[in-house]
Structure 1
Amino acid sequence: MQRYLLLLSFLTTLYSFSQPNTDIFLFDLSTENGNFELSNIKNISNNEGYDNQPSFLNNNTILYAGTRKGQTDIVKYTIPYDSKVYINLTEGSEYSPLKIPNQKAISAIRLDKDGTQKLYKYNLRNGESEVLVDDIIIGYHVWYNENILVSSVLEDGSMSLYTTTIKNKKNDKVVAKVGRSLHKIPNTNLISYISKESDSLWEIKSLNPTNGKTKFITKTLPKTEDMCWLSPNTILMGKGYKLYKNNNDKDWIEVASLKAYGITNITRLAVSPDGTKLALVGEGGKISDSEASNSTKNKAISDAEKIIQTQLEAYNNRDIDAFMATYTKDIKLYDYPEKLKSEGQNAMRESYNTFFKNTPDLHAYIKNRIVIGNKVIDEEQVTINGKIYNAVAIYEVENGKIKKVTFIQ
């Protein structure tokens, strides 16, 4: 108990008092022929409070820590649909969500109200969680593979670099005085970390988690630690409103200024697996009408599909008002082929309101979606009170709202 009490003030400072009003900005990224070009900016969090620590689940999905109702929860943002879903329901605050390799799950650090901090695993299908690591206080982490974790661990008022073998729950300390930025170096068996052994000169180093060997790569920008890898030989860092790259040598080269967008105090950076999108954290941010238009010009999403995605998000968030706002007043629900189950908003609201209140783990996962004109056919896997059900829903949309739903179970 005393261990947690001693750390509580440090943790509170780390995750509470130091939280600025940040947002996550998404850009299309082109690095062909050695160039660096950003376009189609979008503020994907667009939320008052702390939105931070983005990572890519895949090329079309971003995970991040977002503020909701006074705490920080895990957000899943789907790029093609411009949609957000909170995937967990806990009393603690979650940070640093990352995909666990070869699993349909993510890891995140949970800070409970009593100051207890543990690394948890969250099932992507239903949001259920279980403890992964609780015998060291992990501040930041990255997966080397599904069984080996590299983390910055809080101890003695600073952070040390550890490796953890999940299967046998073995923790090994590598070095002391490290930063928060941990990354798998593309196409290698190495992890990069920030060494702060010298208070005045921070360095980017590599670690081979299988043998513990470390190696110097290059110096950071002065007093800057957030970075990502564009390629096995190219690092990206942000400072103020500028972005810089380094090709594993002494010189940092400015590649972009975000001053025109009103974005400053750039911190966390993440690049999609295919290298075509950049997510970054910053403060401020303003987007002109022309930029907003450019950010959506390549979206080939129909109005029918968009309203179905909106109702799915509301369903997973158990938000009855947002859910019912996607349906017409005379909405009809059928069991296949034409057995009427419910008619009208009032009957549907009463039924679903009770259902939402009694199903805290409710989550629908879309396995497949087909769009034909004003009809959207979803193959769904739904978690309800610990049980998983498979179903097909056929939605019919009229004037921007759902007029009819037919269920096949």
Structure 2
Amino acid sequence: MTVAQGGFDLLVMDTEGKGKKLKLLPETAKTLTDRPEYDNQPNFINDSELVFSAADEKGNHDIILYSFRTGNFSNLSKTADRSEFSPTLTDCKQYISAVVMEPDSTQRLWLYPINLGEPELLYDDIAPVGYYDWYDNKAAMFVLGEPNKLVYARGKGNILQIDDHIGRSVKRRPKTSQIGYLSMKSPKETLAGLELPIRTFDIESGKSEVLGFGLAGSLDFIWLDQNYLIMAQGNGIYRKKTTDSEWEFLGKIESSTHQNITRMAYSPDLNKLVVTMQRK
């Protein structure tokens, strides 16, 4: 993970319907965060709360919790000697996990108890971790290197290597044992940029699948549900069924202050989509 310099904010918009009937209401889009520093990597952890990584004025990143119920922000971590990135809820729902850049710049996966107890290091021997997601209380992790690798920690010293030359999005397909990711191998070259293959790997069966290509130039996707993905390109948001080859345009955020949607988080419970955009 490279620490992205420059300002990123979270914006939120309302949605209607689910899955293939999802409609975006871009006219409802408004800033959730609005400051020069980095606010990024949003993830919903339940039906009313969101976590994200936020930098302070010194460039140190902490985990922030936002409640849609109260409208309040609170710190889940406040660590002056290390930075937390990519926070999300663990399968057991007792912890917020995060990639931590430790004081010596080692990047490993840590667990931060929801009850604000002492954080604990999860895999002491796996570094540098960039991104990850959970299946069966174990992490599938993007490990930086030449090349980047996607690995799954079955147990201590039992690391399954899934693939290499992968992109930064690692997202478990809902209600399955499949890890979804973008592959840097065999991209499709277009005038608009590279379209990366969307792949899944089934942890249980070992079976690999390709679900078509992502949008040109896009490195981030999320699952709406088991059958539908969304991605963004510029300020536009698109949906694709896993079995379709074409992306369908869902809407665009018109903004004089922000551009280029990257990471997204969706809550079907709240009917809200949160997106990260760059400050102009």
Quote how far apart the aligned CAs of 1:261 are.
6.2
The structure 1 residue matched to 2:203, chosen from 196, 209, 214, is 209
DSSP-derived class of the 1:152 partner: strand
Structure 1 residues not aligned, in runs of 5+: 1-10, 286-409
Aligned to 2:251: 256
Query: In the alignment, is residue 223 of structure 1 matched against residue 237 of structure 2?
Result: no
Deviation track 1:316-345 (CA, whole Å, cap 9, x = no partner) reads: xxxxxxxxxxxxxxxxxxxxxxxxxxxxxx
- Equivalences for residues 319-330 of structure 1 within 5 A: none
Separation (CA, whole Å) in 1 of partners of 2:181 and 2:119:
28
DSSP-derived class of the 2:166 partner: coil
- Higher strand proportion, which one? 2
Separation (CA, whole Å) in 2 of partners of 1:63 and 1:107:
10
Contact 2:217–2:233 (CA under 8 A) maintained in structure 1: no
| One-letter amino acid matched to 2:249 | E
Deviation track 1:231-255 (CA, whole Å, cap 9, x = no partner) reads: 2221110111111111221111211
- Tell me the TM-score normalized by structure 1: 0.62
Query: In the alignment, is residue 47 of structure 1 matched against residue 35 of structure 2?
Result: yes
Larger C-alpha radius of gyration, 1 or 2? 1
Task: Decide whether aligned partners of structure 1 residues 260 and 93 sit closer, same or farther in structure 2, where only a CA change above 3 A counts.
Answer: closer
Aligned to 2:121: 131
Quote how far apart the aligned CAs of 1:171 are.
1.6
Separation (CA, whole Å) in 1 of partners of 2:57 and 2:83:
11
DSSP-derived class of the 1:89 partner: coil
Separation (CA, whole Å) in 2 of partners of 1:243 and 1:100:
27
Q: Which is worse superposed, 195-204 or 263-272?
A: 195-204
Contact 2:37–2:57 (CA under 8 A) maintained in structure 1: no
Deviation track 1:19-59 (CA, whole Å, cap 9, x = no partner) reads: 33100112221135725122633322223211110001111
Residue identity (%): 28
DSSP-derived class of the 1:217 partner: strand
Task: Decide whether aligned partners of structure 1 residues 79 and 127 sit closer, same or farther in structure 2, where only a CA change above 3 A counts.
Answer: farther
Deviation track 1:337-380 (CA, whole Å, cap 9, x = no partner) reads: xxxxxxxxxxxxxxxxxxxxxxxxxxxxxxxxxxxxxxxxxxxx
Query: In the alignment, is residue 141 of structure 1 matched against residue 129 of structure 2?
Result: no
Aligned to 1:37: 24
Aligned to 2:169: 181
Separation (CA, whole Å) in 1 of partners of 2:208 and 2:257:
38
Query: In the alignment, is residue 107 of structure 1 matched against residue 97 of structure 2?
Result: yes
The structure with higher relative contact order (CA 8 Å, sep 6+) is: 2
Separation (CA, whole Å) in 2 of partners of 1:208 and 1:282:
32
Contact 1:142–1:184 (CA under 8 A) maintained in structure 2: yes
- Equivalences for residues 3-402 of structure 1 within 5 A: 14-15=2-3, 18-31=4-17, 34-38=21-25, 40-70=28-58, 71-90=60-79, 91-136=81-126, 137-146=128-137, 148-156=138-146, 158-166=147-155, 168=156, 170-198=158-186, 200=189, 201-248=195-242, 249-260=244-255, 262-274=257-269, 276-284=271-279
Quote how far apart the aligned CAs of 1:227 are.
0.9
Separation (CA, whole Å) in 1 of partners of 2:217 and 2:270:
27
RMSD: 2.0
Separation (CA, whole Å) in 1 of partners of 2:92 and 2:231:
28
Quote how far apart the aligned CAs of 1:266 are.
0.6
Separation (CA, whole Å) in 1 of partners of 2:173 and 2:207:
15
Contact 1:30–1:36 (CA under 8 A) maintained in structure 2: yes
| One-letter amino acid matched to 2:122 | L
**4+ runs of 1 displaced by more than 6 Å?**
none
DSSP-derived class of the 2:77 partner: coil
Contact 2:13–2:24 (CA under 8 A) maintained in structure 1: no
- Tell me the TM-score normalized by structure 2: 0.89
- Higher helix proportion, which one? 1
Deviation track 1:285-324 (CA, whole Å, cap 9, x = no partner) reads: 8xxxxxxxxxxxxxxxxxxxxxxxxxxxxxxxxxxxxxxx
Separation (CA, whole Å) in 2 of partners of 1:261 and 1:98:
30
Separation (CA, whole Å) in 1 of partners of 2:78 and 2:205:
38
DSSP-derived class of the 1:267 partner: strand
Deviation track 1:123-151 (CA, whole Å, cap 9, x = no partner) reads: 111252110013222110001122x2111
Aligned length: 268
Contact 1:144–1:184 (CA under 8 A) maintained in structure 2: yes
Contact 1:229–1:235 (CA under 8 A) maintained in structure 2: yes
Quote how far apart the aligned CAs of 1:169 are.
5.0
Structure 2 residues not aligned, in runs of 5+: 190-194
| One-letter amino acid matched to 2:130 | G
Separation (CA, whole Å) in 2 of partners of 1:275 and 1:251:
28
